[in-house]
Amino acid sequence: MTIRVLLADDQALLRATFRILIDSCTDLEVVAEATDGREAVELARVHHPDVVLMDIRMPGTDGLTATTAICADPDLATTRVLILTTFEIDEYVAQALRAGASGFLGKDAGADALLAAVRTVACGDALLSPLATRALITRFLTAPAPGAPLAPPEALDALTAREREVTVLAAEGRSDTEIAGRLVVSPMTARAHVQRAMAKLHARDRAQLVVIAHQSGLVQPAPPSVR
């Protein structure tokens, strides 16, 4: 199956570079290009791409506003948003994750990393930089944005003990293989537990599961180290 990608970036040269790179792969295809967030939302509703490669900072309607609109649209429930940013740890990135983005990638990432990121997000996994995940969560995701409530603790009541366990491990940024190793089960079984937890918590994908785990209090931020 071909993964259909929408490019949203105000820089024509970057869009052209991304298009050449993506279209060179037999399993990937660029279906449209947007120059700002407003156009990204409009084109997403027309083409229903699997992945939107979204620049977070664009003139006019920015990537954050566009991400919020796309992730809130029930007709785009299967569309994933991958945020492109020049900063790995950025408050706007955290806001985008809260809004439903599936992860973020630095603009300085190499070609192989970009293609792998698109494929990862398309299959429903989160793409959170291992270097930045813990700092990002501690700094932003555990506190609600103004006017946005925390995920209620009672949302976790539907989870079994094992599903809570895998949710905690997923929130630490661990892969299915790493979770399987910790729990002494197969990666397929670990993934099944994660997917059931996502379904019960109404998480669009793994990234949103991470947000819910922290905002509901299932996972607590690590205390600051004492020197």
Sequence-distant (6+) residues with CB within 8 A of 172 are 134, 219
Per-residue model confidence as pLDDT tens digits over 180-219 = 999 999 989 998 999 899 889 888 777 778 778 877 878 7
One-letter amino acid identity for 224? P
Domains of the chain: 3-140 (3.40.50.2300), 149-215 (1.10.10.10)
Quick one: pLDDT at residue 144? 55
pTM of the model: 0.70
Residue 75 to residues 47, 147, 198, Cα–Cα distance (Å):
11, 25, 19
Residues of the chain with pLDDT under 70: 87-91, 125-152, 220-227
Digit-coded pLDDT (tens) for 38-48: 999 999 999 99
At 104 the pLDDT is 81
Burial string for 158-192 (b: 16+ CB within 10 Å, else e) reads: ebeeebebbbebbbbbbbbeebbeeeebeeebbbe
Rounded Cα distance between 205 and 1, Å, is 20
Q: Can you give the pLDDT at residue 88?
A: 54
Report the alpha-carbon distance of residue 152 to residue 144 in Å, rounded.
Answer: 12
Percentage, residues of the chain above pLDDT 90: 41
Q: Is 119 exposed, middle or buried (0-12, 13-18, 19+ CB in 10 A)?
A: middle
